[in-house]
A and B are shown apart, each in its own frame.
Chain A
Amino acid sequence: MSQDELEDIEIELFLEAIFRYYGFDFRNYARKSIKRRIWHTINQEGLKSVSALQDKVLHDNESMKRFLLNLSVNVTSMFRDPSFYLAFRQKVVPILRTYPFIRIWHAGCSTGEEVYSMAILLQEEEIYHRCILYATDINQTSLYKAKTGIFPLDLMQEYTSNYIQSGGKTSFSEYYTAAYNNAIFSSSLKDNIVFSVHNLASDNSFNEFNVIISRNVLIYFDKVLQSRVHKLFYGSLVKFGILGLGRQETIRFTPHEQDYEAVEPQEKIYRRVA
C-alpha cells in the first residue's frame, strides 16, 4: 500500500472520529481541499501525521477549535462580484416587488459582509421593510462577527468601489460610522436580519424562502453533499423562488439542473420553475 492510500485511510478515520465525538460532519467535504487544511493544522500543531492530529483533537478541545477555525474559509467582502448585485437589482428586485412579504436565506454567510450588502441594496430599492434576511453559518465565531456589523476601516475603499459598480444609489459612507480603525455599520441594516447557526451538512430546512443566496459555500463540498444541499435548497424555495450561487458555481452538474431556469446565467442567478 502506498503512502497516499494510507493517508486516505487516516483522513477518513479522522473525519469519522470528529463526526462521532464532536458532531461536525466533514466527511463529504471536497477531499483535496480539506486535506490541505488538515495538513495546515498538522503543521501548525507541530505534528507529523493525520493520526497524530486525530489523537490531539480528540483529547484537547482547544486544538479542535483551532482546527475548526482553519476549516472555515472566510473569504468574503461587501458587494463581492459587483456585477452579481447589479444583476440582482435589475433582474430580481422587480420580481420581489410583487411580493407582500419576502424571506431571504443567506446560507453560509460567514462574517456577514454579503448580508449587509443585500440589506443596503434592499433599503435603496425600498423593499427592505418587507424582507426578513436569515443569515446562517456553521461557524459561531464568524456569526458573532457578523452580528456586530463592524468591519475594518481599511477595506472601505475597496467596498466603496464595489458598491458603486453594483449600482449603488447614494454615497457608501452614509452606511457606516468610522471609529478608530473600524467601520460600524448602521444598526438599521440589522433590523430585519436574523443570525443563527445552521449546518448545511446535517441540518434541515427551517422555512420557505423567496430567495436563497449561497455563494462560494458549496465549492467546499463533494458531489454527494452538494446534491444533498441542492435538494435542501430546492425544497426550501417557493415556486419561482430565486437561487444565487457564486461566480464559478453552477446548477449544471447537480440533480436539480432541470428544475431551474437561468435569470442571469453569467451571474449564476437561477429561478425555480418546477
Chain B
Amino acid sequence: MLIVIGTSLGGLQALQVILSGFSKNFSVPIAIVQHRHKSSNNNILIDLLQEQTYLVVKEAEDKEDILPGYVYLAPADYHLLIEVGYFSLSLEAPVNYARPSIDVLFETAADSYAQQVIGILLTGANHDGVKGMTRIQARGGFNIVQEPTTALCPTMPSAAIAAGVASVILPLSDIAPFLQTIITTRN
C-alpha cells in the first residue's frame, strides 16, 4: 500500500497537521509533492515536517526503495515517479507549470500500485492533482480531498471535488485519524 499526498500554497501547515497524527508504527509509506520554488532549501522543509512526526522524513533519491515508516518528499525541481517498489526522478518539462508535479506522482502511483493507492489532495492555488486523482480512481484506488473550507487556499481541493474524483471529503484535522483507522482495520 502507498499514500501519495499533493499540496501547493499553504501546504506546510496542512502537512504538519497530518503527519503529526500518525503513530510510530504507521505501516504505509508516504510520498509527498509540495510545490515550491526550484531553488528552495529542502532541508528547512524537511526539518519543519520532521519536528511534527514520528516517521522519518527525507527527500526521495533516484531508485530509492519505498519503505514503510518513511515520509518521502519530492526534491525541488524534479518530478517524483513511482515504480513498483522504488522511486525514479525526472527532469521532464513542468506539468501544470510545476516540477515536481502532483499529477506525475499520482498517475505513476496509480499505474504501479493500482487499488493499493490512497491519494490525498490538500490546500493549493491551482489545478494540479486532478488528473492524477482521476487516474487513481480509474485504477481502483482511494482519494481523500481536504474539505475546502478548512484549506488555506481552496482552489485545488475544490477542483478535485468538482471533477468528481473524491472518494471522501474530510476536514484537515480528520484526515490522519481516518487513515490511521482504515490502515489499522486493514491489518
- Cα-based distance from A30 to B83 in the complex (angstroms): 8
Q: Is the CB–CB distance between A220 and B90 below 8 Å?
A: yes
Q: Is the CB–CB distance between B83 and A31 below 8 Å?
A: yes
Give the number of residue pairs across the A-B interface with Cβ within 8 Å: 65
> B91: which of A32, A75, A252 is its contact (CB, 8 Å)?
A75
Task: For chain B, residues 86 to 100, give those with C-beta under 8 angstroms from any C-beta of chain A.
Answer: 86, 88-93
**Residue A21 at the chain B interface, CB threshold 8 Å:** no
- Cα-based distance from A6 to B64 in the complex (angstroms): 27
Q: Is the CB–CB distance between B89 and A248 below 8 Å?
A: yes
**Residue B131 at the chain A interface, CB threshold 8 Å:** no
Which residue of chain A has the shortest Cβ distance to B85 in the bound complex?
A: A223
Closest chain B CB from A15 CB (angstroms): 16
Q: Is the CB–CB distance between A32 and B83 below 8 Å?
A: yes
**Which of B61, B90, B92 is packed against the most chain A CB atoms within 10 Å?**
B90
Q: Is the CB–CB distance between B64 and A36 below 8 Å?
A: no
Contact A223:B91 (CB < 8 A) given known A32-B81, A35-B111, A253-B63? no
Cβ–Cβ < 8 Å partners of A250 in chain B: 61-62, 64
How many chain A residues have a CB neighbour from B under 8 Å? Answer: 24
Cβ–Cβ < 8 Å partners of A96 in chain B: none
Q: Is the CB–CB distance between A4 and B139 below 8 Å?
A: yes
Task: For chain B, residues 113 to 143, give those with C-beta under 8 angstroms from any C-beta of chain A.
Answer: 114, 139
- The proximity string for A residues 108-137 relative to B, scoring 1 for CB distances below 8 Å and 0 otherwise, is 000000000000000000000000000000
- The proximity string for B residues 93-110 relative to A, scoring 1 for CB distances below 8 Å and 0 otherwise, is 100000000001001100
Q: Is the CB–CB distance between A248 and B61 below 8 Å?
A: yes
> A223: which of B60, B61, B86, B90 is its contact (CB, 8 Å)?
B86
- Cα-based distance from A186 to B139 in the complex (angstroms): 54
**Residue B75 at the chain A interface, CB threshold 8 Å:** yes
Contact A219:B89 (CB < 8 A) given known A31-B83, A32-B81, A248-B78? yes
Q: Is the CB–CB distance between B111 and A32 below 8 Å?
A: yes
**Which of B62, B64, B112 is packed against the most chain A CB atoms within 10 Å?**
B62
Closest chain B CB from A85 CB (angstroms): 15
**Residue A249 at the chain B interface, CB threshold 8 Å:** yes
Cβ–Cβ < 8 Å partners of A190 in chain B: none
Q: Is the CB–CB distance between B114 and A218 below 8 Å?
A: no
Cβ–Cβ < 8 Å partners of B112 in chain A: 32
Q: Which residues of A contact B (CB under 8 A)?
A: 4, 30-33, 35-37, 73, 75, 216, 218-220, 222-223, 226, 246-250, 252-253
Please, could you name 19 A-B residue pairs with CB atoms under 8 Å apart, sorted by A?
A4-B111, A30-B83, A31-B83, A32-B81, A32-B82, A32-B111, A33-B88, A33-B92, A37-B92, A73-B91, A75-B91, A218-B62, A219-B62, A219-B89, A223-B86, A248-B59, A249-B62, A253-B63, A253-B64
Q: Which residues of B contact A (CB under 8 A)?
A: 59-65, 75, 78, 81-83, 86, 88-93, 104, 107-108, 111-112, 114, 139
For the A-B complex with A32-B112, A219-B89 known, give 14 more contacts whose Cβ atoms are closer than 8 Å: A4-B111, A31-B83, A32-B83, A33-B88, A36-B92, A37-B92, A73-B91, A75-B92, A216-B91, A219-B88, A220-B90, A246-B62, A248-B62, A253-B65
